[in-house]
Structure 1
Amino acid sequence: MTQVRPPVVAMPLRVRYHECDPQGIVFNAHYLAYFDMASFEFFKALFGSYDDLRDRGVDCVVAESNLKFRAPSRYDDELVVEVAIDHLGTTSLILAFTVRRGDDVVAEGTNRYVFVDAAELTKAAPPEDVRAKLLAHT
């Protein structure tokens, strides 16, 4: 699951106390929240904001998530969530996430998004200008 493409964005974050479980490590579900936060930074970098993407008539919904844990993260750790495009299909997009603490990879994962019509929420291919911006990073 290691990223092969350079990241489009690298979002820094600091682990908050309430994200840790009784063992003192980040509770696993928080990594999916980190992925979600970083995906919005990804769309912001490419389109100005997520709302600008929606204004083009397209939205994305998560259809599948995968996550591999490599090392624990703890309260006050400084992490960076890197986002790269793993795959661009006709009506879907897979983003690859790598969570790092310094040089150490603590988690890796992917989200598969399905493009939908922003008004109807039915599966639809993205407009050509959206596709072109995504293709530039594959």
Structure 2
Amino acid sequence: MAQNPDPREGFRLIAPLRVRYAECDLQGIVFNAQYLAFADVGLTEYMRALMVEQTGSAERDMLHGFIGHFGGDNWVRHADVDFRAPGKADDLLDIAVRITRFGKTSYSLLCHILRGEELLNVVTLTYVWFDPKTEQVAPVSQKFIDAVTEFETIKPERAVVAL
């Protein structure tokens, strides 16, 4: 009999989150769209941890600090949500996040949403990198790629991109 893998394995960033009443439907179950918001909380905490590792602190205005440090920001291009089990009001969840892949102008993020050792949801997001000054898609910052690669315990794969 195959043993289930540890859903936390390979994730360096795991952020706690308590489900609030307003995030649930009338049955007290987490409303499905909230899982994308939870993944976004995970990405924010990931960026904060990356900034602390890179600069020694996360500025009060972490978003502008991130943009200034890495020279760009990201937009969601694609989201995939795989529901495994329901979260409930007042559950204490862990949001495990890691960047798994880089392309020329995009990167992929994997998010496991857990209650204890139970995997409730798997969210996969693809982001495109953009230049905030022009609001145009741009190649992912090499500084960001290097910082993420150094940060991660499982190194992100690199897409083969023809120039």
> Under a length normalisation based on structure 2, what TM-score does the superposition of the two structures give?
0.78
Identity %: 34
Amino acid at match of 1:116: F
Which runs of 5 or more structure 2 residues have no equivalent in the other structure?
A: 52-57, 156-163
Q: 1:54 maps to what in 2?
A: 67
> C-alpha root-mean-square deviation of aligned residues, in Å?
1.8
Comparing 3-12 with 20-29, greater Cα deviation is found at 3-12
1:87 & 1:50 partners in 2: Cα distance? Answer: 22
1:39 and 2:43 aligned: yes
2:9 & 2:108 partners in 1: Cα distance? Answer: 12
* Structure richer in strand, relative to its length: 1
Q: Secondary structure of 1:97's partner?
A: strand
Q: Which one of the candidate residues 89, 110, 113 is aligned to 2:103?
A: 89
Runs of 4+ with >3 A deviation: 2-5
1:126 & 1:71 partners in 2: Cα distance? Answer: 34
How far residue 5 of structure 1 moved from its aligned partner, in angstroms, is 6.5
Amino acid at match of 1:108: V
Q: 1:7 maps to what in 2?
A: 11
Larger Rg: 2
* Count of equivalent residues: 137
Which runs of 5 or more structure 1 residues have no equivalent in the other structure?
A: none
2:95 & 2:110 partners in 1: Cα distance? Answer: 10
Q: Secondary structure of 1:67's partner?
A: strand
Contact 1:57 1:119 survives alignment (8 Å): no
Q: 1:16 maps to what in 2?
A: 20
> Under a length normalisation based on structure 1, what TM-score does the superposition of the two structures give?
0.91
1:70 & 1:130 partners in 2: Cα distance? Answer: 32
